[in-house]
Chains A and B, each alone.
Chain A
Amino acid sequence: MSETVVTMLTNAFSVLVFPGLLFVMIVGLLLAGIDRKVLARMQKRKGPPVLQPFYDFFKLMGKETIIPDAANRRVFLAAPIIGFVSLVVMVVLIPIGGYTPFGITFNADLIVMLYLLTIPAVALIIGGSSSGSPYAGIGISREMVTMMAYELPLVIVLLTVALKVGGGSFCFSLGEISAWQETNGALITHWELIPAAIAFLFVIPAEVGTQPFDVAEAETEICEGPLVEYTGAPLAMFKLNTAIKMFVMTALFTVLFFGNAVATEYLALNALIVVAISAGITVLSMTLAHAVCARLKIEHLFKFYWTVVTALAAISLVLVWCL
């Protein structure tokens, strides 16, 4: 009896505090703040404080929530929550420094990941289409094209990693992938996987939707696309989702390419290392691209992902297959 109570409590803790809800909220918003601050420094500005995303979040929480007459009320309000829940589920599945909160690793959690990753984007599409604004209509069509563009290289990268770790067959377990790297060294140090890692670095900003790949939310041309009618708390949720996506994607990169190789015995230290690596990858893949590039057009984005990025990922796959 008491055992079940204890497991229930620990499960609740891992969903609500670490590595679930509270942890990702704080780390996600922190990463977004670091991104904005470093971007400002790259442009020789002083920039907003690192805590700026927290201020934005709380401010939006305090604003009035307007639901347009043309909107489908229930879907309009549920969309941001669907995206948020799927992101929290994803974080609980990622073994941060080899720590899996439920003590189990699924055989195919990489595939579950792949499905869960699309849900926030789908939530954005659903929310946008239910708001009944023509700007949102353009935004969601662009969001769909963006999704198609980055999914292909992402799948190939995941296949490459699974093939390398499985050695001849595919290994889709994140737990095993990160454990494998403890004995064989981090995957990033295997030269044939470096193109795949670069491809993944390109997938991150498109998945998160930061400039120059934020065609779906281009605020200067289509008024933030799917978010055009959102105000107050739902908008705060969407902004939070973007911030959490930053952490989820960079943490996924850490697990796939660094794994347990950087893990220590202490859980708190591991979490700190993962957050530090995530911050580094955020700066490398998102801030740098934002600082040097203007926003792409949707057809250029599609072409870029299906040629350059897919080619990088495919090179790795072929190399891993042949060697």
Chain B
Amino acid sequence: MFKKIIAKSMSKSPWIYHVNTGSCNGCDIELVAVITPRYDAERFGFKLAGTPRHADIVVVSGPITSQSKDRLARTLEQVPEPKVVVSIGSCPQSGNVFKGSYSVEGPLEKYTHVDVAIAGCTPKPEAIIEGLYKAAQILQEKREAMEK
């Protein structure tokens, strides 16, 4: 019974940690908009965590610059299992406008498994909420898979 409650709680209380890997700040601002009273992602239990140790969902924005590459890997390692990685914006997927730059070493898929990719430059807050909601469901599935 407890296992069921725990699995269910996984999708109801996902805490987010946000990593900026050289984004233009557009996606970061939209992510903050998601937790404002207007969009209020807290009604699904989302909360911004202060440290990767508390996080369930890691949100990555930006095209992965050479400087941030190692730091991204280190942050992802610190997150306890089960965890879900969400990329936000077109930058982590393709490099977007920064593609071809000497300092861009994307895409994000090279470094980690991406569970949900939210496209757009910038994605609308509604799209971000939907993506995060899907990520929360994946979190529950991962927990159930861990049990087996």
Contact of B40 among A36, A47, A66, A220 (CB under 8 A): A47
Docked-complex contact B13 and A224, CB < 8 angstroms: no
Contact of A55 among B2, B12, B51, B54 (CB under 8 A): B12
Contact of B9 among A58, A64, A66, A229 (CB under 8 A): A58
With A55-B9, A223-B50 known as contacts, the answer to whether A64 contacts B81 (CB < 8 A) is yes
Assess whether A52 is interfacial by the CB under 8 Å rule: yes
Q: Which range holds the interface residue count of chain B?
A: 20 to 34
Question: Which chain A positions have C-beta within 8 A of B13?
Answer: 52, 55-56, 59
Assess whether A167 is interfacial by the CB under 8 Å rule: no
Docked-complex contact A45 and B40, CB < 8 angstroms: yes
Most buried by B among A48, A49, A63: A63
With A62-B6, A63-B81 known as contacts, the answer to whether A231 contacts B43 (CB < 8 A) is no
Q: Which range holds the interface residue count of chain A?
A: 35 or more
Nearest B residue (CB) for A229: B53
Q: How far is the CA of A57 from the CA of B15 in the complex (A)?
A: 12
Which B residues are within 8 Å of any A CB, using their own CB?
Answer: 2, 5-10, 12-13, 37, 40, 42-45, 48-51, 53-54, 56, 78, 80-82, 143
Between-chain CB contacts (< 8 Å), 25 pairs: A40-B40, A45-B40, A45-B42, A46-B43, A47-B40, A47-B43, A48-B43, A52-B13, A55-B8, A55-B45, A56-B45, A57-B9, A58-B6, A59-B6, A62-B10, A63-B56, A63-B80, A219-B49, A219-B51, A223-B51, A224-B50, A227-B54, A228-B51, A231-B53, A235-B54
